[in-house]
Amino acid sequence: NAGVTQTPKFRILKIGQSMTLQCTQDMNHNYMYWYRQDPGMGLKLIYYSVGAGITDKGEVPNGYNVSRSTTEDFPLRLELAAPSQTSVYFCASSTQGGRTGNTIYFGEGSWLTVV
């Protein structure tokens, strides 16, 4: 059971570089999410998607971009990396939102350091 798979697990970026965090899920989930976790701050939502071709901003979207061309994939793009983007990034997915309240399942996280 692959579930939600994120790559890379660890990455060091220089200030101003760009990179893409990959996320794929094999559960045929409609909803996908990107969260970041800063020390002592819990998780904050960056972007989310309710289906292929549809994305929306979360709480902290600045400095990031996403796309959702397929149901399975939801890459997160960092343009012009800044030290403030040093964090742990979690991709997640769920079957359906709204009244069903389905559980959100998380990937294992990607540790990103910007120096």
d(CA 51, CA 61): 18
> In the structure encoding, which two tokens stand for residue 61, read together?
């979207």
**How far is the C-alpha of 38 from the C-alpha of 5, rounded, in Å?**
20
Q: Which of residues 75-104 bind other proteins (CB under 8 A)?
A: 88, 90, 94, 96-99, 101-104
Are the C-beta atoms of 72 and 24 separated by less than 8 Å? Answer: yes
Q: Does 64 bind other proteins (CB under 8 A)?
A: no
Instruction: Give the integer Cα–Cα distance in Å for 86 and 113.
Output: 5
Near other proteins by CB under 8 A: residue from 48, 64, 74, 89? 48
Binding of other proteins at residue 40 (CB under 8 A)? yes
Of 17-25, 62-70, 76-84, 107-115, which part binds other proteins (CB under 8 A)? 107-115
Q: Which residues bind other proteins (CB under 8 A)?
A: 31, 33, 35, 40-45, 48, 50, 56, 58, 88, 90, 94, 96-99, 101-109, 111
